[in-house]
Amino acid sequence: MNVFLTGGTGFVGSEVLRQLVAAGHRVRALVRPDSEDKLALKDQIEIHHGDVTDSDSLDDGLSGCDAVIHLIGIIREYPSRGITFRKLHVEATENILAAAKNQGVKRYLHMSSNGVRATGVAHYHTTKWAAEVAVRHSDLDWTIFRPSLIFGLGSEFVAIMVELIRKMPIIPVLGDGFYRMQPVAVEQVAESFVKALNLPETIGQSYHLGGGASFSYDEILDLTAQAMGRQAVGKLHQPLFMIKPMIKLLQNHDRFPITIDQLTMLTEGNVCDPRKWAEAFSLQPTSYAEGISHCIDKNG
């Protein structure tokens, strides 16, 4: 199958790209000029130079393709640089949907996120929801994936935790650390996108993707430390009423590590029921406890 892929240079996109090629699919990746070296398999695919936010750059890019896999999204806005949730989630999706329709591509696979809803308190979630609405209202044969936090080799989430544990005797934790997370393995997320291309029964369906178990944030820290060969780490819990004013004051500085939007999503938790997904794709979800040691070993 000929597949048009967006987001192929990212963490999830790299794994999707590898699995698409391994399955024998022919891939055309949308890549911004001078970003080709970020592709995991540059020499085995076709490259279309363009930008998902520039609809003109998509002209003829999807022609001859049988399906589109749209992965592009951001977890933080940088308005001063023109990087916003509205632009990268909603407008980008609308551009890809229009290009697919105009160029005769019917099958469409969409990356969304667990927790999206019209009434979400985080702008990330509401714009992801708006993108989903556009997908559902299209005439395409769509499938929507809503993964929880994705972990794996090259995961920024894992890398940050590892660095904190290595360098700090006591880890600062925002809030009480009881909020629960259900990380899902990147390999299984990518496997689902690739399998869906040949599963017509997934058309018109939305799937929640989560790991085999949920854990509190404190437990996630301990599991990561154990995978590094260390005991449970010391934690300093910081009351939200004390840190929210500081975050609001500093969040517009690019180097400040967190925004109020991200804090809101973190402390509301990120869990789901993955049974529908697991049954549809014939897989057994890997838990963070089962998969984290592999990530630590590879990341050194």
**Which SS3 state, helix, strand or coil, does residue 271 take?**
coil
CB 284 within 8 A of CB 212: yes
Q: 47: exposed, middle or buried (C-beta count within 10 Å: 0-12, 13-18, 19+)?
A: middle
Q: Determine the pLDDT at residue 299.
A: 41
pLDDT of residue 215: 98
DSSP 83-141: B-HIIIIIIHHHHHHHHHHHTT--EEEEE--TT--TT-SSHHHHHHHHHHHHHHTSSSE
Q: CB of 208 within 8 A of CB of 276? A: yes
Residue 111 to residue 189: CA distance in whole angstroms: 10
Long-range CB pairs of 233-239 (<8 Å, 24+ gap) are 233/165, 233/170, 233/171, 234/169, 234/170, 234/171, 235/170, 235/171, 235/172, 235/173, 235/177, 236/170, 236/171, 236/172, 236/173, 237/173, 237/175, 237/176, 237/177, 238/172, 238/173, 238/174, 238/175, 239/175
Q: Tell me, what's the pLDDT at 296?
A: 84
CA 148 to chain centre: 8
Annotated domain spans of the chain: 2-150+185-209+272-285
Distances from the Cα of 146 to the Cα of 193, 236, 273, angstroms: 11, 32, 11
Backbone angles phi, psi at 263, to 5 degrees: -60, -40
Q: What is the pLDDT along the chain (300 residues), one digit of tens a residue?
A: 999 999 999 999 999 999 999 999 999 999 998 889 889 888 899 999 999 999 999 999 999 999 999 999 999 999 889 999 999 999 999 999 999 999 999 999 999 999 999 998 899 999 999 999 999 999 999 999 999 999 998 899 999 999 999 999 999 999 999 999 999 999 999 999 999 999 999 999 999 999 999 999 999 999 999 999 998 799 999 999 999 999 999 999 988 999 999 999 999 999 999 999 999 999 999 999 999 999 985 444
User: How much is the pLDDT for 297?
Assistant: 57
Q: CA-to-CA distance for 278 and 285, rounded, in angstroms?
A: 7
Q: What CATH superfamily is the domain 2-150+185-209+272-285?
A: NAD(P)-binding Rossmann-like Domain (3.40.50.720)
Per the listing, tokens 């299984």 go with 188
Residue 300: Cβ-neighbour burial (10 angstroms; 0-12, 13-18, 19+): exposed
Q: Alpha-carbon distance 148 to 112, whole Å? A: 10
- CB count, 10 Å around CB of 160? 12
pTM above the 0.85 mark? Answer: yes
Query: Six-digit token pair at 124?
Result: 């990330």
Left, alpha or beta for 46 (phi > 0: left; psi -120 to 50: alpha)?
Answer: beta
User: How large is the C-alpha radius of gyration of the chain?
Assistant: 19
- In degrees and rounded to multiples of 5, residue 249 shows phi and psi of -70, -35
Q: Looking at residue 300, what is its pLDDT?
A: 45
Task: Tell me how far the alpha carbon of residue 52 is from its chain's centroid.
Answer: 17
Identify the pLDDT of residue 34. 85
